[in-house]
Each structure stands twice: as structure tokens, then as C-alpha cells.
Amino acid sequence: MTASDKKLSSARLTQPTNKFVEEFTASVTFDKRMYRQDIQGSIAHATMLCKVDVLTASERDQIINGLQQIENEIDNDQFEWSIAQEDVHMNIESRLIKLIGEVGKKLHTGRSRNDQVATDVRLYLRDMIVPIRSELQRLRSTLLDVAEREFATIMPGFTHLQTAQPVTFGHHMLAWFEMLSRDLERLDDCTKRVNSLPLGAAALAGTTFPIDREYTAELLGFERICRNSLDAVSDRDFAIEFNSFASLLMMHLSRFSEELIIWSSAQFDFVDLGDAFCTGSSIMPQKKNPDVPELVRGKTSRVYGNLFNLLTLMKNQPLAYNKDNQEDKEPLFDTIDTLLGSLRVYADMLSVITVKKDNMRLAALKGYATATDLADYLVRKGVAFRDAHEVVGLSVAFAIKQQKDLSALTLQELQQFSDQIGDDVFSVLTLEGSVAARNHLGGTAPEQVKKAIQIARSEL
């Protein structure tokens, strides 16, 4: 190797790295996506070193100008990445030395790749949380749009996937909104711990140079500083926590996907997802497959796997940094990409969803969805709930034999099970009466759905 090709970290070694080992241990193929963050961190580090008189102003400016030139080269695909330099950090530093000479070798004063990579990963994740949060908010907003449009649309509510009670589609959409609201809270809480500066911990014990970590944190926009140098370079809790948040969010999207898949089937026919979000069959011309929700449901397993990947990666590592931690980036990057894509496609898909109101209403008429309303009616008449429950059970059994809905039974047919039933009973046996009666905070009454949407919009 020539002096210029030699690894910056290879002085201790007497033989060049085995070619296969070089490729096996390199991470530049995937960590180069953090080049902006690496350059950002290096500029802040050089600026801090000048402040504490480790670098002169001239040296600082040469380093910063060189780093900015490198960023421009990468932006314009003019940068030559080298496996020999292992990772994004060494590639950039090696190029800096070629550009500005000996001054470039001073950049690494007072830091290690250990605290440098920990800083880069935090910066990258912090940057990517911004579009993830934006897409999550867009999806929440889209759910509110659908809920507002369908606030009074009646559909069957299910337990055990059996018709239980009538609800409104708007109310159902607000249930998903609530799940995503909790996800947003978890993301914001996780961000606090992502936004902590490890730079200055050096390899594991800190540095003998008079660094100013508070100033570096200010330059990079970190809200706090990792307080222990050993923990700073080895901590990956923030990445695990982000993956935990992502797993919960993807679980919610997977549940939603299951419903959309069922609802769009010919057997239910509650919704149409729009042709742009479905595919056809290679052999069956009549098919319209809900590939987007199916794929999101499938991608959930990837995110789960990434979470367990990181948990397993960290479970037996002694302090401080170990090469194992190179394996933290690919699962984290994959989760970021998967989550961002899933949120984006979901917001787009729901913005054009068609709700088939008539089909939903007909489905709600099946399965005796207003049976509980009849029981509540009897309780208000003075009948004990357990007795009312038995009366309704007998009424339903009779209606099944007659192949009628409860609301289609005559007063005389209903009264054979209880003389407490009067002709006012039919107002509570209708679907509209059932949903309207649940007029309390968190209930499915259209009036409550509208109030909930107003509150949600003010929070959004």
C-alpha cells in the first residue's frame, strides 16, 4: 500500500488486512448514508477545538472548508468510497487529509471513532425522526378527515369478529387516531433520549484535552450531554427504544391493515381502497388485491425482527465499545425506511378511501346488534339486568327462528317474553337510536364523534 492508501488506524499492525477480512469488517456500504451527520459533527468538533485553543482559527477554517468540499463531492456523486477505509468516518477523514494536507490530521484530536459514531447515529436518527413525525401527523390528520366525513355512518361493531353493537365509522376511525396519538407520545418521549451528546467521551475514558462539551452540544443542537464516558460510547438504548416505538406503531398499522383487507373483500364490501393502491392477478382478471395493507402487515415482522436484533446484539456486551455495535446500524436504518414508507403509503391510501355506507348499514342489521339496547331498555323499566339479559336472549332466539331482526318483530311477539315492553321499544331497536343513545364522552353517538374530532384537531 502507498502511504495515501494506508488505513489511518493501521500503524500498530505489521501486515495489511486480509482482503476478505477487510470486506467482512467494513461498514461503509451502509453507514455512508450518515455522511452529512459525520461532517456536521466534525465541523462542530473542529469549531470547539479552536475555541479551546487546540486548533488555530486558520486550521479550523481549512478543516471546515475541506469538509464542506467533501460534502459537496458526495452530494454530486463525485466522492470515491473506499472499503479499505472501513467506514464513513475514515473515508471522509482520509479524503480531508488528501485535500488539505497535515492540518487534516489534527481533526481527530480529542475524539475517537467510538464517540464519533455514537454521535453520528444519534444525529442521523434525530434527523430522520422529523419526517417520520411529519408523516405520522399527516396520517392522523387524514384519519380525522375520514372520521369527519363519516361521523354518522353506521357500521357493525365487532367482538370476536362477530357482530356486537352498531357503531359509527367515524368513531371507528377515531379509535385508530387514539392508537397513533399514543405512538406520537412515545416518539416524542424517545426523542428526548436520542438528543443526548456522546462526543467528548473519546474511546471510553474521556480525553486529556480541555474540550468544551457544552459548547459542542450547543453547536449540534443537543439538549443534554451523556454524563458517563463509558456509557456514552456503548449505549444503544436510544436505538432500541426507537425500534420499540416503531414496533408498536407497525403493530397498529398491521391491525388496521387486517381490517382494511377484510372490509375490502367481496364478503364484506365495506370499503374500496382505490385502484392506485391495489394490484391485479396474473391469472384471475377479476381480482383486485389489497397489496398495500397486506405488505404493511408483512413488513411489521421486519420491524419486530430489528427490535429483537438490537436487543440480542446488546444483551451480553461488556463495557465499553465493542465491534458488535457496528451491527446496530442496518436494523435501525431498515426500521427507519420501513416505518417512513408505511406511514406515507397509509396516509395516501386513506385519503382516497371510499366508504360503502349502504353495505355497512345492511351488515349492521344482521347479527342482532341492538340486543343490548333492548336489555338496557328493560333495565330502565325496572327489570334486573340478569333477568333482562335472559328476556333478550329468548327474544333473539325467537327472532332467529322467524328470520327477522329484533326491530322487525311485532309488539305482541316481543311482549310474550316480557310485559314490560311497550310500543316505545322500537325507538331503541333502530340502528340510529342505538348509536345516538351512547351520547357520552368516548361514546359512538354522532354528536360525540363530532366533539371528539374538534378536540383532536385542536391537539393536532
pLDDT tens profile 230-260: 999 999 999 999 999 999 999 999 999 999 9
CB 137 within 8 A of CB 184: yes
Say if domain 371-429 classifies as CATH 2.60.40.1930: no
Q: What is the pLDDT of residues 30-75, one digit of tens each?
A: 999 999 999 999 999 999 999 999 999 999 999 999 999 999 999 9
Give the Cα separation of 369 and 439 in Å (integer). 17
The mean pLDDT of 184-193, rounded to a whole number, is 98
Residue 10: band (very low, low, confident or very high) from pLDDT cuts 50, 70, 90: low
Q: Is 281 a catalytic residue?
A: yes
d(CA 233, CA 358): 60
Specify whether the backbone of 226 is left (phi greater than 0), alpha (psi in -120 to 50) or beta: beta
Q: Alpha carbon of 99 to those of 5, 39, 195, 400: distances in Å?
A: 14, 15, 32, 85
| CATH number of this structure's domain 19-109 | 1.10.275.10
Kindly state the average pLDDT of the residues 188-201: 98
pLDDT at 362: 94
Q: Cell 363519516 appears where?
A: 150
Decide if pLDDT at 4 tops 90.
no
Q: Mean pLDDT in the chain? A: 95
318-213-110 Cα angle (round to 5): 70
Beta strands in 77-160 (DSSP E): 154-159
| Residue 433: HSE in the Cβ half-sphere, 13 Å Cα cutoff | 16
Question: With 60 as the cut, is the pLDDT of residue 410 above it?
Answer: yes
pLDDT in tens, 305-317: 999 999 999 999 9
Which DSSP string do the residues of 45-81 spell out, in sequence order?
Answer: HHHHHHHTTSS-HHHHHHHHHHHHHHHHHHHTT----
pLDDT at residue 240, as a whole number: 98
CA–chain centroid gap for 195, Å, is 18
Catalytic residue flag (residue 160): yes
Tell me: pLDDT of 134 over 60: yes
pLDDT over threshold 70, residue 7: no
Provide the residue ranges of all domains of the chain, joining segments of one domain with +: 19-109, 114-155+166-361, 371-429
Per-residue pLDDT for 2 more than 60?
A: no
In this prediction, residue 247 carries a pLDDT of: 98
Q: What is the average pLDDT across 208-236?
A: 98
Burial zone of 217 (CB within 10 Å; 0-12 exposed, 13-18 middle, 19+ buried): buried
pLDDT of residue 9: 65
pLDDT band per the 50, 70, 90 thresholds, residue 177: very high
Which class is domain 114-155+166-361? mainly alpha
Query: Cα(338)–Cα(246) distance, rounded to whole angstroms?
Result: 9
Predicted local distance difference test score (pLDDT) of residue 3: 40
Between residues 301 and 366, the one the model is more confident about: 301
Q: What is the pLDDT of residue 17?
A: 75
- Which of 58, 281, 301, 440 is labelled catalytic? 281
> How much of the chain, in percent, has pLDDT values that exceed 90?
90
**pLDDT reported for residue 1:** 38
The three three-digit cell numbers of residue 18, written as one number: 486480509
Q: Give the chain's length.
A: 460
Distance, in Å, from the CA atom of 94 to the CA atom of 97, rounded to the nearest integer, reads: 5
Number of C-beta neighbours around residue 437 at 10 A: 17
Q: How does residue 367 score in pLDDT terms, banded at 50, 70 and 90?
A: confident
Distance CA 46, CA 291 (A): 50
Distance, in Å, from the CA atom of 253 to the CA atom of 419, rounded to the nearest integer, reads 48
Q: Which residue would you say has higher pLDDT here, 7 or 211?
A: 211
What is the rounded CA–CA span in Å between residue 322 and residue 150?
A: 54
pLDDT band at 20 (very low <50, low <70, confident <90, very high): confident
List 4, 160, 282, 458, catalytic entry: 160
